[in-house]
Amino acid sequence: MTKYQTDVAIIGAGGAGVAAGIEACDAGAMAIAFEKAPEPGGAAAISGGGCMIVGTPLQKEKGIEDTPDLAFDDWMKWGGPSADEVWARYYIEHSLHDLYHWAESHGVKWVDMKPQEGNSVMRWTRSQNNGLGLMTHLIAAFQKRGGEIVSGTEITEIKRDGNRVTGIKGVNTENGAPVDVDAKTVVVTTGGFNSNLDMVLEARPELGNDRVMEGSGLGSTGSGHKMVRQIGGYLTHMDHIWFYVYATPDYRDPSQRRGLVFRQAPGYIWVNQQGNRFHNEARSGGNSASPALMAQTPRHAWAIVDTPMKANMEIADPYYREGDKVARDKVEELLEKSPFIKKSDTLEGLAKEIQVDEKTFLETVSRYNAAFDAGLEVEPEFSKPLKQSKKFDTPPYYAIQIFPLARKNFGGIKTDLHCRVLDKHFEPIQGLYAAGEACGMAGGHINGRAGLEGTMLGPSVFSGRVAGGWAAQEAGHGEGFVGKANRA
Ligand SMILES: Cc1cc2nc3c(=O)[nH]c(=O)nc-3n(C[C@H](O)[C@H](O)[C@H](O)COP(=O)(O)OP(=O)(O)OC[C@H]3O[C@@H](n4cnc5c(N)ncnc54)[C@H](O)[C@@H]3O)c2cc1C
């Protein structure tokens, strides 16, 4: 058995866990993060690295006027009544100083912005080299402060003595040797549960009749939720799962559960099993395209692509990359070998392959093509802008079957504003903290039913800091997280 003793024990070294570690070390505490994967980083390291941040120098450079009030307004309208307005306000006001400038102080560079559905101004802000760039700097900052990351160690239990948490237990994932940790406080930052289809379907049983796919980081299996539930912590809004649509089953996955996200085929159209389009494909977000796909019977569609459209297609999975380049031969292999992708030299043939009504399908494509012949900027049926698109005219044609992909959890462990885990009486469990996607990104349900994007990674890292600060304070170090609000 390997034994550890620390002030703050952190379960999971992703975005929230590493931020918690930095904060705990800055408060003068000893912090150790236990990570079940061979490397730290979690979903944060494979993420797009986009954070919703308000009032940034990048916005000012572009002449964008943004305020916490405006962002809060957008947030509540988009997320709906179940968005946690206290946590949303807390995050938004702290995002400039306690995320943007704080990350910069650890070497992170914020490089550009992208418009996202639901935002009245651009505020999705990307770190250089995406999530990997952000996490590389944060991991280095944690280690520079004396923080330790013990990888290849899966935590399986939170230890408790009466009403107080006293440490954690786990196993070495390589040799099965037990690991026992005594800690003054414990921070749960195990991420979401969208790579555990059983938990997804437990939270959303109505989806059980059709295929939905696992789509988060490999470590996002909900183990923290289970451990917290076991010792009486309260889970909330577990049915708030954020789905995306541009994903096809990973035919190489032996469990047949994972999905592959494909991007950079902007000309494609989606047709349902009746052969009809049903949505403006340029609006591909979780609050527009996902409900549209979910409303189809059966609940899937076909992304139709012609040969030039697939030229830049990317698959968001390490197998399909060579360093920072797309492995084109692997993308071709997917297009040729996946049973979920059909190919034909004619549109008639493609209709037969995907077993849709041929006449309806051909009419759908020819109405779409007619918009190009007429020189329109926007096609009339669903108002898709055509600037980045082309007509379907170059065989072979492909149909990629798409199903809803569970990507992000907007519900989870309930905490207060100090990230203390609450029990069913909404009273804190002594010594236990949680942050990040395990808490639906922060507090339990900060986003509500829909996120403005960048509202996952940003709140995860921020709430990690909050948890680390207060966990250190309870362990006898520092004053707790204070930060700096952006209040004019
Ligand atoms: C492909 C992809 C792209 C994304 N892009 C964006 C984006 O651009 N913007 C945005 O806002 N959000 C994005 N997200 C979501 C965002 O990355 C996550 O919400 C965020 O990383 C959550 O941080 P976290 O620390 O809570 O979890 P994670 O970063 O997933 O870290 C959790 C860690 O805990 C470990 N762990 C789990 N259980 C245990 C255990 N029992 N013992 C030890 N370790 C354990 C996991 O292995 C993992 O390393 C994206 C997600 C994905 C999958």
Q: Measured between alpha carbons, how far is 245 from 480 in angstroms, rounded to an integer?
A: 41
Ligand 1 atom nearest to CA at 437: 26
Among 36, 409, 410, the mutation site with the greatest number of ligand 1 atoms within 8 A of its Cβ is 36
Residue nearest (by alpha carbon) to ligand 1 atom 8: 48
Q: Measured between alpha carbons, how far is 165 from 474 in angstroms, rounded to an integer?
A: 12
Q: What separation in Å is there between the alpha carbon of 372 and the centre of ligand 1? A: 41
pLDDT along the chain (488 residues), means of 10: 98 98 98 98 95 98 97 98 98 98 98 97 97 97 98 98 96 97 98 98 94 96 98 98 95 94 89 98 94 96 96 90 88 97 98 98 98 96 94 97 97 98 98 98 98 98 98 98 89
Task: Say yes or no: CB of residue 454 within 6 Å of ligand 1.
Answer: yes
Task: Say yes or no: CB of residue 223 within 6 Å of ligand 1.
Answer: yes
Residues in the chain, overall count: 488
Residue nearest (by alpha carbon) to ligand 1 atom 38: 190
Ligand 1 atom nearest to CA at 435: 26
Ligand 1 atom nearest to CA at 194: 53
Q: What separation in Å is there between the alpha carbon of 482 and the centre of ligand 1? A: 25
| pLDDT given for residue 263 in this prediction | 86
Task: Say yes or no: CB of residue 246 within 6 Å of ligand 1.
Answer: no
Q: Measured between alpha carbons, how far is 260 from 362 in angstroms, rounded to an integer?
A: 28
Task: Say yes or no: CB of residue 17 within 6 Å of ligand 1.
Answer: yes
| pLDDT given for residue 265 in this prediction | 85
Ligand 1 atom nearest to CA at 451: 11
Cα dihedral sign for 304, 308, 309, 314? Answer: positive
Q: Which long-range contacts (CB under 8 A, 24 or more apart) does 103-110 make?
A: 103/127, 103/134, 103/137, 103/138, 103/461, 106/22, 106/137, 106/138, 106/140, 106/141, 107/137, 107/140, 107/141, 108/133, 108/134, 108/137, 108/138, 109/133, 110/53, 110/56, 110/58
Q: What separation in Å is there between the alpha carbon of 432 and the centre of ligand 1? A: 20
Task: Say yes or no: CB of residue 10 within 6 Å of ligand 1.
Answer: no
User: Are 82 and 237 within 8 A, CB to CB?
Assistant: yes
Q: Measured between alpha carbons, how far is 289 from 379 in angstroms, rounded to an integer?
A: 17
Among 11, 47, 95, 242, the mutation site with the greatest number of ligand 1 atoms within 8 A of its Cβ is 47
Nearest alpha-carbon partner for 240 in 414, 467, 397, 381: 414
Task: Say yes or no: CB of residue 15 within 6 Å of ligand 1.
Answer: yes
Q: What separation in Å is there between the alpha carbon of 381 and the centre of ligand 1? A: 38
Q: Which two tokens stand for residue 370?
A: 């007619």
Ligand 1 atom nearest to CA at 261: 1
Residue nearest (by alpha carbon) to ligand 1 atom 11: 454
Task: Say yes or no: CB of residue 219 within 6 Å of ligand 1.
Answer: yes
Ligand 1 atom nearest to CA at 135: 29
| pLDDT given for residue 488 in this prediction | 60
Task: Say yes or no: CB of residue 147 within 6 Å of ligand 1.
Answer: no
Q: Which two tokens stand for residue 368?
A: 């779409």
Among 172, 456, 463, 465, the mutation site with the greatest number of ligand 1 atoms within 8 A of its Cβ is 456
Task: Say yes or no: CB of residue 460 within 6 Å of ligand 1.
Answer: yes
Q: Measured between alpha carbons, how far is 153 from 172 in angstroms, rounded to an integer?
A: 5
Domains and CATH numbers, the chain: 2-236+407-474 (3.50.50.60), 246-403 (3.90.700.10)
| pLDDT given for residue 321 in this prediction | 87
